[in-house]
Amino acid sequence: MIYADNAATTKMSQAAIDKMVSLMKDTYGNPSSLYRFGQKAKEELELARETVASVIGAEPREILFTSGGSEADNQAIRSAAILGKAKGKTHIVSTKFEHHAVLHTLDKLEKEGFEITLLDVHEDGLVRPEEVAAAITDNTALVTIMYANNEIGTIQPIAEIGRICHEKGVLFHTDAVQAITHVPINVVEQNIDMLSASGHKFHGPKGTGFLYAKKGIKLSNLIEGGAQERGKRAGTENVPGIAAMAVALKEASDKLDETAKYLIEKRDRLIEGLYEIEHSALNGDRTKRLPSNVNFCFEGIEGESLLLLLDEKGIAASSGSACTSGSLDPSHVLLAIGRVHDVAHGSLRLSLGEDVTDEDIDYMISAVKEVVTYLRSFSPIWRDLVAGKKQFIL
């Protein structure tokens, strides 16, 4: 099987598995206990915090461990909203193509009286810093913009957006779930006040993640109870998971440049190959995108059928089609970059793993070509397009 859905989740690294198993077997003490056996677990926890902090240029006390990216997003935005409201500020700036962990939290805040501005991301899937600047008012409590988009992989000008926020005295949060370990991140140099990350996206375990919050930002709890995580997240810490996440994060970050160089070459080979399919288009900017991300729309076909047929050929991929979403609407990300419904249905995301080879890429190109041609052969939409009864969009 070629696993090309690494934006959904990744295979755990062997070093992370070893770390996790070793802690589960031998260091199962409760880090809040005072005896040595518990304190050993506490040491592992704090070691993990130091590792995570050093990777993103933060201080250990600025790292809060969570159950994943969604929880970190929720806590960051809720905390900023509460801090803002205390100062009478009730406006939040974000974008149309954020992850639902952000968008749904903002929906709730809107119902609670906040004013939400969702910026356009244009056809290339990129936020314009000057539009962020224009959207900020005296009433703005927070700007939250993702580092890289989960579907189309576009990398946002985070450092510049952060600089604008700081000039205007507004808190800046970024959901870096897709970006971390793929793009160099330094929270100080890039003017980031809060950052969310998820362990299983970089070969760590599921159910792990962290929130970076700059010293001085008072976080509010989502979970009340004991005094764990400096009192900001109650519940006995997932020590084996956290320690394994830190191992995976360090491992992936140490070889970031090498991996990026390798994957960009593979990504570009795949993009060029898929462009040979007529009436297709790449979604998102050609170069300002994650090294692992390829996302295409193919006119006249539907994405779920495409995925099922690729699965039959041993390729695991993803689509923004309505039929795969559980709801009846196509991906909000593809709609946000201006793809119309018909076209958004025929989308395919291939997110590459670091072990992908040229042979894998070539196999994927030929498999996608074959499946698209087959599905078009009995698509009434394709028939109308070819007959000239409908205009081609791509």
Partner 1 sequence: MALYSEKVMDHFLHPRNVGVIEDADGVGEVGNAKCGDIMKIYLKIDNEIITDVKFETFGCGSAIASSSMATEMIKGKPVTEALELTNKAVAEALDGLPAHKMHCSVLAEEAIKNALEDYQSKQKK
Active centre residues (catalytic): 323
Q: Point out which span in 24-32, 85-93, 141-149, 327-335 binds partner 1 (CB under 8 A).
A: 327-335
> Whole-number minimum distance, CB 301 to partner 1, in Å?
7
Q: How far is the CB of 152 from partner 1 (least distance, A)?
A: 20
Q: Which residues are CB-neighbours of 70 under 8 A, at least 6 positions away?
A: 99, 101, 198
Residue count of the chain, please give it: 394
Report the residue from 6, 13, 228, 324 that binds partner 1 according to the rule CB under 8 A: 324
Closer of 21 and 340 to partner 1 (Cβ): 340
As measured in angstroms, the least distance from the Cβ of 383 to partner 1 is 6
Q: Which of 321, 331, 347, 351 binds partner 1 (CB under 8 A)?
A: 321
Please state the closest distance from residue 278 (CB atom) to partner 1, in A: 17
- Of 241 and 303, the one with the shorter C-beta distance to partner 1 is 303
Q: Shortest distance, CB of residue 315 to partner 1, whole angstroms?
A: 15
Residues 338-357 that bind partner 1 (CB under 8 A): 341-342, 345
Is 149 near partner 1 (CB under 8 A)? no
- Of residues 35 and 378, the one with the C-beta less far from partner 1: 378
Beta carbons of 187 and 56 less than 8 angstroms apart:
yes
Tokens matching residue 8: 């959904």
Which residue in 378, 387, 388, 389 binds partner 1 (CB under 8 A)?
A: 378
With tokens 């006390």, the residue in question is 61
383 touches partner 1 (CB under 8 A): yes
Angstrom distance (rounded) from CA 252 to CA 198: 13
**Total residues interacting with partner 1, rule: CB under 8 A:** 26
Figure out which of the listed residues 300, 310, 339, 367 binds partner 1, where binding follows CB under 8 A.
300
Give whichever of 47 and 323 is closer to partner 1, judged by the CB atom.
323
Q: Which is nearer to partner 1, 258 or 311 (CB)?
A: 311
* Run of H or E residues at 65: strand 63-66
Query: Which candidate, 206, 178, 195, 220, places its Cα nearest to that of 67?
Result: 206
Residue 314 CB partners (closer than 8 Å, separation 6+):
1, 2
- 43 makes contact with partner 1 (CB under 8 A): no
Q: How far is the CB of 380 from partner 1 (least distance, A)?
A: 4
Contact residue for partner 1 among 99, 228, 330, 367 (CB under 8 A): 330
Q: What are phi and psi of 262, to 5 degrees?
A: -65, -50
The single residue among 328, 359, 389, 391 that binds partner 1, judged by CB under 8 A, is 328
What phi, psi does 247 have (nearest 5°)? -60, -45
Amino acid at 327: S
- Per-residue tokens: 130: 């000057």
In this chain, which of 308, 314, 357, 370 binds partner 1, going by CB under 8 A?
A: 308
| DSSP, res 198 | E
Please spell the DSSP secondary structure of 207-241, one letter per residue: T-EEEEE-TT--PPPSS-SS-TGGGTS-S---HHH
Q: How far is the CB of 341 from partner 1 (least distance, A)?
A: 5
- Among 61-69, 88-96, 187-195, 322-330, which window interacts with partner 1 (CB under 8 A)? 322-330
Token pair belonging to 296 = 């295409």
Which strands sit side by side in the sheet containing 140-144, from one edge to the other?
A: 63-66, 209-213, 194-198, 171-175, 140-144, 91-95, 115-119
Q: Both tokens of residue 221? A: 């709890």
What is the β-pairing status of strands 115-119 and 209-213?
A: unpaired
- Comparing CB distances to partner 1, the nearer of 144 and 305 is 305
Query: For binding to partner 1 (CB under 8 A), which residues are involved?
Result: 300-302, 304-305, 308-309, 312, 321-324, 326, 328-330, 341-342, 345, 377-383
